[in-house]
Amino acid sequence: MTLEAILPPERVLYDVPGGSKKRVLEFFSTFIAQNIPSLDSQEVFSRLISREKLGSTGIGNGVAIPHARSPHCHSPIAGFLKLAEAVDFDAIDGEPVDLVFVLLVPEEADDNHLALLGQVAMIMNDANTRLELRRAQSQRHLLDLIIDKIREQPDP
């Protein structure tokens, strides 16, 4: 299972309204439930919020990687959001977040989901990658950049 395989073009979102961490997670939960009928927006939101209560998924440098397990998720699902404005995400460095990579995995997920999370973290830890993603001027440009960065990664 590769990041590219679980991140189709329609789940790379540009200029997403922010407001707050809660609003961003609500937006994604509603969006993903509209795209994947087996998922319920309230259940996805509840699981993402529960994960945040364990500790923020804001990894620093304006990046968050919210993730959760879901019994209605049959294979890993990813989404990438470039926010219109940064939001407070309780990140470890205290900086607001504007790049959000969401990962949902099946309830019985194995080490594969940890490899996917690690791959996302490696991509998003690169300062040049973050700068390029922030400079993207369209959804298409954002999609091309993120896919290029995923393809540059060594296989997990």
74 flagged as catalytic: no
Taken in order 94, 125, 67, 114, is the CA torsion positive or negative? negative
Contacts of 37 (CB under 8 A, 6+ apart): none
Q: Which of 67, 74, 113, 141 is catalytic?
A: 67
Please state, in angstroms and as integers, the Cα–Cα distance from residue 63 to each residue in 21, 25, 87, 94, 123, following that order.
12, 14, 10, 11, 11
Calpha distance 111→37 (Å, rounded): 26
Question: Which residues are marked as active site?
Answer: 67
